[in-house]
Amino acid sequence: MNKVLVTGVNGFVGQHLAKELSENGAEVIGVGGPRGATETSPYLSKYYVVDLMDRRATEDLDFSEIDSVVHLAGLASVGPSFDDPMKYITTNMSLEANLFEVALKQNKKPRFLIVSTGGVYDPSTPLPLTEESKVTPSSPYAVSKLGQEQLAQYYNRRGFEVLIARPFNHIGPGQGLGFIVPDLTEQVLAIANGKSAELKVGNLDAKRDYTDVRDIVCAYRLLLEKGHDGETYNICSGVSRSGNELLSLITEAAGVTPKIALDPAKMRPSDTPDIYGSHEKVTQATGWQPKIALEQTIKDAVEDWRTR
């Protein structure tokens, strides 16, 4: 593993991944934007401020010092992708293509872990979803991630070692707005502090497979160490939980019972009733298992939001 380049290192997952890699012996080189204080992180040996959409700017990266790349950078919220599909598709595919092309130009071929999503699967496919399940993306975001997977397969044929991770929903401390747990937590704490009277929600009946971000990044590290070239791996808990269950845990952690109102603006154009995956393949390859209970994840996420 040695020297690992992490793109999007100052994002939600990137900060946890830098810590996970560093504490397990890797030298972490981060790529992020100009905002944030990640460049002072004790987990990074070097920090690049690079716009990966700009091919020439991406050439500032020195791949001669890189053994592996974990590519996290990109647009990650499902909901807004319905409003601007082309932004998601062009951005997420361009970032990845520029990384590979610059590495090729420097005649270097580090091992790449491309982070896709469990959202690429056909939502009508029998559960649990495995790596062999039918792929039919149900959002422009998922279309962009499937495009990233196909780019990865192309560069695999160009001689790069490439692995693809398909994480399902991940939650935990440090996550920003635009995702179910922080969105609900912000509202619940506003009610607890007397700043709001009711909680506005979308469809909370839908069930999803949630995994703590700290377990997710552990899987990424193990895939870099033990994953097989050219393979795709689900990263998930194997259990689905509804939005109502998440809300119950959040309100319990916050010590409040809010009045709830349905907000049509929070409803998505497509919302599958139940989704969960199988992590058997990654477990067999690496020994990884999710360890952090959902109840603990929610407690940590609520406490983290309180401190912001």
Do residues 199 and 84 share a domain? no
Domain shared by 252 and 105, yes or no: no
Residues 147 and 53 in one domain: yes
200 & 99 share domain: no
| Whole-prediction pTM | 0.94
Same domain for 246 and 225 = no
Q: Looking at the structure, do residues 119 and 151 belong to the same domain, yes or no? A: yes
Please give the residue that has the higher pLDDT: either 261 or 113: 113
Query: Mean pLDDT of all residues in the chain?
Result: 93
pLDDT digits (tens, 9 = 90+) for 122-135: 989 999 999 999 99
| pLDDT beyond 50 at 154 | yes
Rounded-to-integer distance, Cα 275 and Cα 152, Å: 25
Helix (H) or strand (E) holding 57: helix 55-58
Q: Does one domain contain both 83 and 229?
A: yes
The domain total for the chain is 2
Closest CA to 274 of 234, 241, 298, 247: 241
Q: CATH code at 302?
A: 3.90.25.10
Q: What is the rounded average pLDDT of the residues 221-236?
A: 98
Give the CATH number of the domain where residue 115 resides: 3.40.50.720
Q: How confident is the model over 50-77, as pLDDT tens digits?
A: 999 999 999 999 999 899 999 999 999 8
For residue 286, the enclosing domain spans 3-171+210-238+276-292
Looking at the structure, do residues 88 and 232 belong to the same domain, yes or no? yes
Residue 228 has what DSSP assignment?
A: P
Q: Tell me, what's the pLDDT at 37?
A: 44
The answer on 20 and 148 residing in a single domain is yes
Q: How many helices (H) and strands (E) does the chain have?
A: 10, 12
The pLDDT tens digits for 43-52 are 999 999 999 9
Nearest to 224 by CA among 17, 14, 10: 17
